[in-house]
């Protein structure tokens, strides 16, 4: 089991059933340096909290503090934009999305309840991977989210799949 430079296994995307493995950390494994994991200087801003600029300063100096990202919803004729800096957490964001598209129940997918809602909210992160909303702490999410998509659950292969398994069917290209 590989550890990434962040050492945060919980946030590492991998294919497979959630909570699977049950393997124990091998604590003797040498921690890899930042560059080992992320190569040259390309992805240096993928890390939470680096460079260490205070959150207040981030909000007020950069982009005027706004964090607009595009939101697409399967079946909707045009996209919308939402400002992530206006929300304090996932529940507020989901409410905003529901109002934006007039579609309710988007948040159900986050609670791991199968078949309750036909839509699943996902986002593309800085690595270009599509992630299910809600796994990582809110601040980490706002720093890494590039765009949002409200996907039709039925678009994924198979029926009655656990939400996390739907990610198998997604490619990096939208």
Partner 1 sequence: MNYFPEEVLEHVFDFLTSHRDRNAVSLVCKSWYSVERFSREKVFIGNCYAVNPERLIARFPRVRSLTLKGKPHFADFNLVPHDWGGYVYPWIEAMAKSGINLEELRLKRMVVSDESLELLAKSFPNFKSLVLVSCEGFTTDGLAAIASNCRFLRELDLQENEVDDRKGQWLSCFPDTCTSLVSLNFACLKGEVNVAALERLVARCRNLRSLRLNHAVPLDALQKILVQAPQLNDLGTGSFLHDPDSEAYCKLKNAIKKCKSIRSLSGFLDVNTRCLPAVYPICTNLTSLNLSYAPGIYSSELIKLICHCKKLERLWILDTIGDKGLGVVASTCKELQELRVFPSDLYDGVGNAAVTEEGLVAISAGCPKLNSLLYFCQQMTNAALITVAKNCPNFIRFRLCTLDPTIPDAVTNQPLDEGFGAIVQSCKGLKRLSVSGLLTDQVFLYIGMYAEQLEMLSIAFAGDSDKGMLYVLNGCKKLKKLEIRDSPFGNVALLADVGKYETMRSLWMSSCEVTYGACKTLAEKMPRLNVEIINEGEQIEASPDDRHRVEKMYLYRTLVGPRRDAPEFVWTL
Q: Of the ranges 18-26, 74-82, 151-159, 160-168, which one interacts with partner 1 (CB under 8 A)?
A: 18-26
What SS3 class is residue 160?
A: coil
User: Taking CB under 8 A as the rule, does residue 139 contact partner 1?
Assistant: yes
Q: In whole angstroms, what is the distance from residue 121 CA to residue 76 CA? A: 14
Could you tell me the smallest distance in angstroms from the CB atom of residue 101 to partner 1?
26
Please say whether the beta carbons of 140 and 11 come within 8 A. Answer: yes
Nearest to 142 by CA among 59, 28, 60, 73: 59
User: Taking CB under 8 A as the rule, does residue 91 contact partner 1?
Assistant: no
Could you tell me the smallest distance in angstroms from the CB atom of residue 107 to partner 1?
15
Please say whether the beta carbons of 131 and 13 come within 8 A. Answer: yes
What is the rounded end-to-end Cα distance, in angstroms, of the chain? 29
Handedness of CA 50, 56, 59, 62 (dihedral sign): negative
Please state, as a whole number, how many other Cβ atoms lie within 10 Å of the Cβ of residue 173: 6
∠ CA 117-118-124 to the nearest 5 degrees? 100
Among 35, 66, 162, 168, binds partner 1 (CB under 8 A): 35
User: Taking CB under 8 A as the rule, does residue 172 contact partner 1?
Assistant: no
Tell me the per-residue interface mask from 142 to 171 with partner 1, x by CB under 8 A, - otherwise: -x----------------------------
Q: Of the ranges 59-67, 98-106, 155-163, 165-173, which one interacts with partner 1 (CB under 8 A)?
A: 59-67
Could you tell me the smallest distance in angstroms from the CB atom of residue 51 to partner 1?
5
User: Taking CB under 8 A as the rule, does residue 50 contact partner 1?
Assistant: yes
Output the CA–CA distances (angstroms, integers) from residue 78 to 73, 75, 145, in the order listed: 8, 9, 20
Count of residues making up the chain = 174
Among 1, 14, 21, 53, binds partner 1 (CB under 8 A): 53
Q: Report the interface residues with partner 1, using CB under 8 A.
A: 5-8, 10-11, 19, 24-25, 27, 30-31, 33-35, 41, 44-45, 47-58, 60-62, 88-89, 135-140, 143
């Amino acid at each position: 089991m590989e550890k990434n430079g962040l050492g945060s296994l919980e946030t590492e995307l991998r294919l497979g059933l959630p909570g699977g493995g049950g393997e124990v950390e091998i604590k003797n494994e040498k921690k890899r340096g930042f560059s080992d994991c992320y190569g040259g200087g390309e992805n240096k801003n993928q890390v939470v909290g680096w460079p260490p600029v205070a959150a207040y300063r981030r909000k007020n100096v950069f982009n005027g503090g706004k964090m607009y990202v595009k939101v697409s919803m399967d079946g909707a004729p045009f996209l919308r934009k939402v400002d992530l800096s206006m929300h304090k957490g996932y529940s507020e964001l989901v409410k905003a999305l529901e109002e934006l598209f007039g579609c309710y129940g988007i948040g159900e997918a986050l609670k791991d309840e199968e078949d309750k809602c036909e839509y699943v909210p996902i986002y593309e992160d800085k690595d270009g991977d599509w992630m299910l909303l809600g796994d990582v702490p809110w601040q980490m999410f706002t720093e890494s989210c590039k765009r949002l998509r409200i996907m039709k659950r039925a678009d994924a292969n198979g029926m009655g799949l656990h939400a996390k398994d739907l990610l198998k069917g997604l490619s990096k290209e939208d």
